[in-house]
Amino acid sequence: MAVHPRLFSRRPAAAMVQAWLMGAAFAALLPITAHAQIGSYRYASIIVDDASGKVTEAVNADSPRYPASLTKLMTLYLAFEALRDHRITLNQLVPVSMHAATREPSKLGLVPGTRLTVEDTILAIVTKSANDAACALGELIGGDEDRFGQMMTQRARALGMTHSTFRNASGLPDPAQVTTARDLALLAHHLIEDFPAEYHYFSVPSFYYHGREIPNHDRMLTDYEGADGLKTGYTLASGHNLVTSAVRGGVRLIGVVMGASSNPERDLHMASLLDNGFIQLGVPIAPHAPRHFRMPSLIEVAEAAPLRPHYASLRSHRLVHGKLVHVPARHIAEAAPARATLAVAHGHTAPACKAVARHHCGVAARRV
């Protein structure tokens, strides 16, 4: 598909090489323990109208930054691509290597030699931001994580992400793994545009794994009207990062904030930038609409995001006592006749689903 000209202008090859070398040198000098904050030298942001590519706001949008768990957006892009091309299936078992099992948190706690399905790895990535699951999925697709990192970088180049380099599937610290706010906005655009059938995974409020409920962590999805996806990320080196998509009045904005000092600061700043973007595009915003951003739970290294239900994609969800619950594909066929344990997700009642509530409320969701 065509790349938005306003969002991704072409540069002469020599200039691109020079910018990349400067970015790599800068990334190598980034202090690992520095604290990020809005307005600091590691801060970057961009807000883009997804339909036109118009940039409503941008600060340091082409400066190199550590992606942290925003890296997993590219991991999921390659996974969705492999699903589309029938190289893997949702029910396919993913072996857990010693390398994958020993990744640092956030993680599921996978045991070497065990297996889980491709769909479970996807769900673990978008909810728990599980580094062990991301690594195992990368090894399945690429053969090993180093090779998968090369595949990620090659795909990034093909998408027009000229300032991004990936070294692992999870976003755990690597001084050579860098990106920009503009590149991440482009990646979010392609995830939404190229994989509309898979985008609903970013909206899953929670899922069950081995009888344990894994909730999502992204506060924007419940606290910002219209937010329907993408991801959070954090390491000591990167600060608190966020990619958010929100739709209001038929307009979809993609926002990227990098280098905040805390989750509340990051979320409030993203909300303000999105509000300003909608106003610029003629979408009215309530002048004193209350926001109830909650204090986050403890953050783990390379934590990633989850997302509020995309109600247009009900094929993998069921309403249980008015709550939207994700049901992995392999269980949907058996969920209706079975008297299974009800899995009630933490989250809000789905207002857009009231019209089909009576149809779905009788369907029981099984624990995974």
Cβ atoms < 10 Å from Cβ of 98: 9
- Report how far apart, in Å, the C-alpha atoms of 12 and of each of 9, 19, 63 are: 10, 11, 18
Instruction: Estimate to the nearest angstrom the gap between the alpha carbon of 317 and the chain centroid.
Output: 19
Whether 316 is catalytic: no
| Dihedral (CA of 83, 305, 93, 170) sign | positive
Query: In the numeric block, which tokens belong to residue 274?
Result: 């999105």
Which residue in the list 63, 106, 129, 164 is annotated as catalytic? Answer: 129
| Nearest alpha-carbon partner for 312 in 252, 268, 243 | 252
Structure-token match 């269980």, residue found: 331
Check if 72 is active-site.
yes
Contact yes or no for 101/111 (Cβ under 8 A)? yes
The CA distance from 321 to 324, in Å, is: 9
Alpha-carbon distances, residue 267 vs 106, 227, 239 (angstroms): 20, 12, 13
Question: Distances from the Cα of 313 to the Cαs of 219, 253, 295, 340, 345, in angstroms?
Answer: 21, 20, 29, 23, 17
Of residues 72, 107, 128, 323, which has the active-site annotation? 72
Q: Give the three-class secondary structure for 189.
A: helix
- H-type alpha helices, 85-159: 98-101, 118-127, 131-142, 145-159
Q: In the numeric block, which tokens belong to residue 151?
A: 């595949």
Residue count (the chain): 368
Active site residue 245: no
Residue where the block lists tokens 């973007």: 277
List active site positions.
69, 72, 129
